[in-house]
Structure 1
Amino acid sequence: MTNVVLFSGFGSHGKDVNEDLFDRCPDLDSAAADILGYSIRDRLRADRGAGPLDSPSNQVAAFVVNAMKYHAHREDGLTPDIVMGRDLGEYNALEAAGVLDFGTGLRLVHLRAELVGNADGAMAAVLGLTPEEIRAVLRSAGLHGLVFTSLNTPYQSVLSGRPSDIARAEEILLRAGAYDVRPIAMGKPFHSPLLAAAAEKFRDALRGTTFGRPRIPVIANCTALPYRQEITAEVLARHMREPVRWHESIRWVADRFPQAVYTAVGDQRLLLKMLRQIFAESIGPGPTGATSRSPVRIPSY
């Protein structure tokens, strides 16, 4: 049996995190506070009554909480054979595979968040149309400035671009048959060419970072292929400005390991919903059915 661990990205930063998790991982809690200069636990406690965290705090909180959950799973006996993370979760996957340590991952996530913070743009999720159908609609409407930020499932994609173009596309895509177009509140054009300048600055920081050889395969968002040690820095720079090819990444695993078991770490609801849609719509019987050839394991954290 092949154990595949999936890490979520940010956006759901831990309102429902069990505080016992911090007690179980005091070394990570302390290391994060030393690096950041503040306590993630305290930020999440305050957030429960004060609204969402700002984007940089959200991103580092997601990385820290994902890392804690994964370390708790390992203590409980989880042994992954393949890891992959959607969006920011890719950094957790790299830590799990020994490509970078927790401190290095957190510093890179923090820097990445600061660089992205200066970018202008907007994003929207499009449900009910394939990427090919979306491209055709945008081309006909002359909306050439919109690009795919994430290709999540056969019928769920995320677009990014100027706010005015996103607003115009919403009406056009709904008329074309999309059953929902949802603006994404984070307000940054993640994984798009609008972050090209930020990606170049990030590339400079990556040149001074030492990366280990993956102990197990890590499937990269922007290539849907396993990382190689010698191209890690280049792939992480591309990760900032190229779309998340999540659907293709899941297919890469499913085609080679049809009996794989998937464990979701982080936002389990979102990850498992996407996984089930991918299997139902493009791969065949999957985690939703009684005859599933790819069962899903739901950890306690």
Structure 2
Amino acid sequence: MTKTAWVFPGQGSQAQGMGVELQNSSIALEKFKQAEEILGWSVLEICQGDEEILSRTLYTQPCLYTIETILVDLLREQGKSPDVVAGHSLGEYVAVYTAGVYDFATGLKLVQKRGELMDKAEGGKMVALMKFDRDILNSIVSQTENVVIANDNNEGQVVISGEPNAVDAVVSQVKAKLTVPLKVSGAFHSPLMATAAAEFSQVLDTVNFSDATIPILSNIDPIPSTDAEIIKQRLVQQMTGGVRWREIMLQLPLENVTQVVEVGPGKVLTGLIKRTLKGVNLLNVETISTDAK
């Protein structure tokens, strides 16, 4: 039996103007209104405003979550549904919403808190590496304190994260074809986020999760699960643990997935999957034509 996976992009996929065309939908308008009541600011205004502001973690994450969950609702209105779900970093919160673990408002409040904690993080550095010797990279990272592989995106693309000097030391020793410092203040998905993760864990403890109606492939563990407590614990671990996206992609064929739909702005995940898996049908949903109702 063939299956469809929905995957959701995370921070870095945002773009000015995203979500604006969704205003013709009553579903979207209700979500935008609800989001403004929770956040205290307008997602649509931020998405149409200054790019620097939109790129701040504090704003990026709630904006992406809101727009991607709206797209999920609109796809469902068309009678579509996935067999498995996964999201890249922040995108995992949309996957959890899609699987019915919590409602829109609960997820948005978690994302808002997560974004605030990450936005306050200081003293870290993240650098993307493209085309390198993986064995050499793994060896150097294992021998260097205070640096980890934060995002394992595919065989030839990773992000390392940690203390600036440690990150620079790894970069200087690995002969990557391209290195790109990320515009972040903190060492996301590394042990340096332990304090933020502990605070976030306390917030999560107060939230009731339901068992998922759709299996979720997690960043911290690509083996699918529907268990509420496992899903919650994986979200806590995600803040200090790496995004194992390469392994998630390799898991998809084992789940008999033959079609992957990227739901959200951009085509970052589609590109990664295209370079990793053969024979998988790839689709993108960045917007949905809607009639005013």
TM-score normalised per structure 1: 0.88
Shift of 1:296: 0.8
Q: Residue in 2 aligned with 1:61?
A: 63
Q: Is the 8 A contact 2:189 2:241 kept in 1?
A: yes
Q: Is the 8 A contact 1:73 1:299 kept in 2?
A: no
Match of 2:270 among 260, 263, 272: 272
Q: AA paired with 1:119?
A: A
Q: Is the 8 A contact 1:203 1:233 kept in 2?
A: no
Q: Which consecutive unaligned segments of at least 5 residues does structure 2 have?
A: 288-293
Task: Find out whether 1:252 has 2:255 as its counterpart.
Answer: no
For residues 137-216 of structure 1, the aligned pairs below 5 Å read 137-138=140-141, 143-174=144-175, 178-216=176-214
Q: Residue in 2 aligned with 1:299?
A: 285
Once residues 186 and 23 of structure 2 are traced to their aligned partners in structure 1, the CA distance between those partners, rounded to angstroms, is: 30
Shift of 1:162: 1.4
Q: AA paired with 1:122?
A: K
Deviations 1:230-257 (A, max 9, x none): 3232211101110011111121121231
Once residues 179 and 55 of structure 2 are traced to their aligned partners in structure 1, the CA distance between those partners, rounded to angstroms, is: 24
Match of 1:104 among 97, 106, 114: 106
Q: Is the 8 A contact 1:14 1:65 kept in 2?
A: no
Structure 2 SS opposite 1:73: helix
Q: AA paired with 1:172?
A: Q
Q: Is the 8 A contact 1:4 1:80 kept in 2?
A: yes
Shift of 1:6: 0.5
Structure 2 SS opposite 1:298: strand
Once residues 127 and 267 of structure 1 are traced to their aligned partners in structure 2, the CA distance between those partners, rounded to angstroms, is: 22
Cα gap change, 1:208/1:298 in structure 2, threshold over 3 Å: closer, same or farther?
A: same
Q: Residue in 1 aligned with 2:22?
A: 21
Once residues 16 and 110 of structure 1 are traced to their aligned partners in structure 2, the CA distance between those partners, rounded to angstroms, is: 20
Shift of 1:166: 2.3
Moved more, 186-195 or 8-17: 8-17
Q: Residue in 2 aligned with 1:93?
A: 95
Q: Residue in 1 aligned with 2:290?
A: none
Deviations 1:210-237 (A, max 9, x none): 0011001011110112232132322111
Q: Residue in 1 aligned with 2:80?
A: 78
Deviations 1:1-34 (A, max 9, x none): 3110000001232314252213321111111001
How many residues get paired?
282
Q: Residue in 1 aligned with 2:232?
A: 233
Once residues 155 and 254 of structure 2 are traced to their aligned partners in structure 1, the CA distance between those partners, rounded to angstroms, is: 16
Moved more, 91-100 or 269-278: 269-278
Once residues 222 and 100 of structure 1 are traced to their aligned partners in structure 2, the CA distance between those partners, rounded to angstroms, is: 19
Cα gap change, 1:59/1:130 in structure 2, threshold over 3 Å: closer, same or farther?
A: farther
Q: AA paired with 1:123?
A: M
Moved more, 163-172 or 89-98: 163-172
Shift of 1:144: 2.4
Q: AA paired with 1:185?
A: K
Shift of 1:169: 2.8
TM-score normalised per structure 2: 0.90
Shift of 1:65: 1.4
Structure 2 SS opposite 1:117: helix
Q: Which consecutive unaligned segments of at least 5 residues does structure 1 have?
A: 280-285, 287-291
Task: Find out whether 1:33 has 2:46 as its counterpart.
Answer: no
Once residues 224 and 130 of structure 1 are traced to their aligned partners in structure 2, the CA distance between those partners, rounded to angstroms, is: 23
Q: Residue in 1 aligned with 2:48?
A: 45
Shift of 1:56: 0.7
Cα gap change, 1:300/1:44 in structure 2, threshold over 3 Å: closer, same or farther?
A: closer
Q: Is the 8 A contact 1:131 1:157 kept in 2?
A: no
Once residues 151 and 245 of structure 2 are traced to their aligned partners in structure 1, the CA distance between those partners, rounded to angstroms, is: 7
Q: Is the 8 A contact 1:189 1:195 kept in 2?
A: yes
